[in-house]
Amino acid sequence: MSNSEIEKKAITKFLIHLHPVNVNAQAIKYTRTFGLGGIAALLFVILFLTGILLRFAYVPSEIGAYASITYLQQEVLFGQLLRNTHFWSGMLLVIVSFLHLIRVIYSQSIYYERRKNWLYGLLLMFLVILSNFTGYLLPWDQLAYWAVTIMTNMMSYVPLIGEKLATIVRGGAELNEGTLLRFYNLHTGLLPLIMVFVMSIHVWLVRKSKGVTVADSSKKEMVPTNPQLVYKEIVVALALILLLTFFSIFVDAPLQSQANPLVSPNPSKSPWYFMGFQELLLHLHPIFSIFIVPLLVTAFLIYIPYMKDVHVNVGVWFHSENGKKITIWSVVYAAVFTFLLIVASEYLLKFQLWMPDLSLLITTGLLPLVLYLVPSALFLYVMKQKLNADKTELIMSIVTILLTGYIVMTVVGSLMRGQNMNLFA
Amino acid sequence: MNLIKKITRRSFIKRSILTILSLELVYVFFNLLKKSNDRLKPDNLFEAGKLDLFEKNRVYPFSSRRFYLSRLEDGGFLAISTKCTHLGCTVQFSNNEGKFKCPCHASAFNKYGEVLAAPATRALDIYPITIQNDTILVDTEKPVKRTKYESSQITYA
Ligand code: HEM
Ligand code: FES
């Protein structure tokens, strides 16, 4: 054997631990997965490496944190680039994980032997957000300080345990050095460690279910993984690294002035991926927006693949042509209706002023919720009557409404609110 | 039930041990998180100043201690926390408008700490005040939560 052949063998052997020798030809079409899981894994590796380097410069203390970041940016060769790369990879990972989640739902890839992996996937999404959130505090600038203040105070609205929970997260009534230390340790120690485990299980479960779902499981044409799949992966990986590097060269990660607990910036916002919640909190009583609604949505997401009496076409995008139509209608409905309701509740609907005698739980909680649920139920009913939606398609429609609603709230909260959180200010 | 059938004596013991160990770990971890709390807090009362330093019907900032001392028309005192009850931003007293305003989402409070404008729903927290030898002492470590203002919250000399 020549040298290059041995080399090739070693590479193949390594990859075989992640991939089978042969794969279904349909599974490696780019539009099957859009490579999202792989991109997320690569981003994690990039974050891991840049994060380890950042640790050499970063000082997790109230006095040291901000200074160490400015030192990194101004004095260290490529320090700014290092920070930018870590920052943008972290943001991209949240987006990519979210898209990945959307991909597996709509391609009906969460049922039967993949149920368990859906749960691990949800757990990973949670861990990604937690990682990003704990990292967000570390620069200890105004943006970081107030975003985390707002977020932890949102937590304290959870009934009964909220106040305790927020205190445990912060390590006190206010953000302080102790908070910074525990976020630092979670961010650079515990969370990456847990994520490595969960990611391994996640990937292993994909292989255990014989790879990703395919649109037509009767077609069994197999092709060798190396080079057919491996080359595609390499192209995507290189393209991602290239784009990320260019982006990080030209766009700096934000850094405001050092954290000052005495002065809050106007407006103060939580990190963008929590802005949907902050927006919801403006319209809905905290007990509903911070507790009941998220709890129900999470329970619903967990429950989807365990639902009884549903007929699913595993691997088929949107279940059917009809399902595609229904999904598009659901996006349109949810986008328009959510937006209108936000505007209406901002300027017109003031139940608490019209009915001051009723409990706030009803006027700012139950009523707005009903105002969202009733038209949505009506919409589902129309879908059922007019487009003959079956159970699977209705579930998909509900998922679509929830996701679209959250995205609309995120966009409104992060981009359309200015001073004093006024709309269009 | 399928689940119950699957549990044998051996697996039951194994699982119990694992569960107890994990619970123990979680418990220790949470305790660790709880403890580091108060270590950074100074525990003395803050001396705001002599009684006659403060005019009636005015509000005095003690920004670094995160409270405002509000002296009311009748000479009573309220030490009002600067922490907005909505999501925890720092409110500022505007002397022109005579109210506390939150820069984050525009909640407003009057000099008693009562809500004037949503999204906040609760009156601003207060700190306990004691008056010794005509000196005002504020316990800035013990914010008192309240849903609304009541006259019993005022401290008189
Ligand atoms: C895997 C190991 C990781 C290590 C060792 C690590 C380490 C660090 C360190 C030392 C910082 C502080 C320096 C700074 O603020 O620029 C930081 C910040 C940050 N990290 Fe990580 N990190 C890791 C993974 C992640 C992941 C998975 C995410 C997101 C999903 C993430 C998102 C962030 C964010 C958003 C910041 C703030 C960045 C900034 O403002 O510059 N990190 N990380
Ligand atoms: S934190 Fe003060 S209004 Fe939101």
Task: Give the nearest ligand 2 atom to B84 CA.
Answer: 2
Instruction: State the fold for domain B45-153.
Output: Rieske Iron-sulfur Protein (2.102.10)
**For residue B83, what are the β-bridge partners?**
B90
The reply to whether ligand 2 has any atom less than 6 angstroms from the CB of B105 is yes
| Four-CA torsion A338, B116, A417, B96, nearest 10 degrees | 160
Contact across the interface for A262 and B37, Cβ inside 8 Å? no
- A contact set with B (CB within 8 A): 146, 149-150, 152-154, 167-168, 171-174, 176-178, 181-182, 261-268, 281-282, 352, 360, 420-422
- At A184 the pLDDT is 96
Mutate to test the interface with B, among A163, A191, A264 (most CBs of B within 10 A): A264
Burial of A417 (0-12, 13-18, 19+ CB in 10 A): buried
Contact A379, A387 (CB under 8 A): no
pLDDT in tens, chain B (157 residues): 566 667 788 889 999 999 999 999 998 888 887 765 555 555 567 777 777 787 778 888 888 888 888 888 888 888 889 889 888 888 888 888 888 888 877 788 888 888 887 778 888 888 888 888 888 888 877 788 888 887 777 777 7
So what's the pLDDT on residue A193? Answer: 96
Beta bridge partners of A23: A223
Q: Taking phi first (over 0 means left), then psi (-120 to 50 degrees means alpha), and beta for anything else, what does residue A315 get?
A: left
Question: Which ligand has the minimum distance to the alpha carbon of residue A185?
Answer: 1
**Cβ-based contacts of A152 with chain B (< 8 Å):** 88
Q: Tell if the CB–CB gap between B36 and A267 is shorter than 8 Å.
A: no
Taking only the tens of pLDDT, chain A with its 425 residues reads 566 677 767 766 766 677 888 888 888 888 888 999 999 999 999 999 999 999 999 999 999 999 999 999 999 999 999 999 999 999 999 999 999 999 999 998 998 889 999 999 999 999 999 999 999 999 999 989 998 998 888 888 888 888 888 888 888 878 888 899 999 999 999 999 999 999 999 999 998 888 888 888 788 788 887 788 888 889 999 999 999 999 999 999 999 989 988 888 877 788 899 899 888 888 888 888 888 999 999 999 999 999 887 888 888 888 888 999 999 999 999 999 999 999 988 888 777 778 777 777 888 788 889 999 999 999 999 999 988 888 889 999 999 999 999 999 999 988 888 776 777 76
Q: Please tell me the predicted confidence (pLDDT) of residue A99.
A: 96
Test A420 with B89 for CB contact under 8 angstroms.
no
| Entry field: residues in chain A | 425
Q: Which ligand is nearest to the CA of A50?
A: 1
| Alpha carbon of A83 to ligand 1 centroid (Å) | 9
Q: What is the Å distance from ligand 2's center to A155 Cα?
A: 14
Question: Is the CB–ligand 2 distance for residue B107 below 6 Å?
Answer: yes
User: How far apart are the C-alpha atoms of A424 and A416, rounded to whole Å?
Assistant: 5
Find out whether the beta carbon of B124 lies less than 6 Å from any atom of ligand 2: no
Distance CA(B153)–CA(B156), nearest Å, equals: 10
Residue A277 makes CB contacts below 8 A (sequence gap 6+) with: A154, A270, A289, A290, A294
- The answer for B 82-111 residues in CB contact with A (under 8 A) is 82-83, 86-90, 102-106
Whether A180 lines ligand 1, by a CB cut-off of 6 Å, is no
Tell me which DSSP letter residue A18 carries: T
Nearest-CA neighbor of A341 among A417, A397, A282, A285? A282
Given a contact cutoff of 8 angstroms between Cβ atoms, the answer to whether A286 and A157 are in contact is yes
- Which listed ligand is nearest to B119 at the C-alpha? 2
pTM to 2 decimal places: 0.87
Strand-by-strand arrangement of the B46-50 sheet: B46-50, B135-138, B129-132
Output the pLDDT for position A97: 97
Residue among B73, B72, B92 at smallest CA distance from B81: B92
Taking only the tens place, the pLDDT of each residue in A353-369 is 787 777 778 887 888 89
- Which string of b and e fits A83-101 if b means at least 16 CB within 10 Å? bbbbbbbbbbbbebbbebb
Do B60 and B51 form a contact (C-beta atoms < 8 A)? Answer: no
Closest CA to A202 of A86, A41, A83, A395: A41
Tell me whether residues A167 and B38 touch, CB distance under 8 A. Answer: no
Largest Cα span, chain A:
87
CATH fold for the domain made of A12-265: Cytochrome Bc1 Complex; Chain C (1.20.810)
- Judging contacts by C-beta atoms under 8 Å, the chain A residues touching residue B119 are 281-282
Cα distance from B50 to chain A (closest Cα, Å)? 25
Segment A380-396, tens digit of pLDDT: 999 999 888 888 899 99
Tokens standing for B53?
A: 């330093």
Burial class (CB in 10 A: 0-12, 13-18, 19+), A153: buried
* Tokens 């901002």 -> residue: A346
CA of A134 to the centre of ligand 1 (A): 8
Per-domain residue ranges of chain A: 12-265, 268-425
Closest CA relative to residue B83, chosen from A264, A142, A256: A264
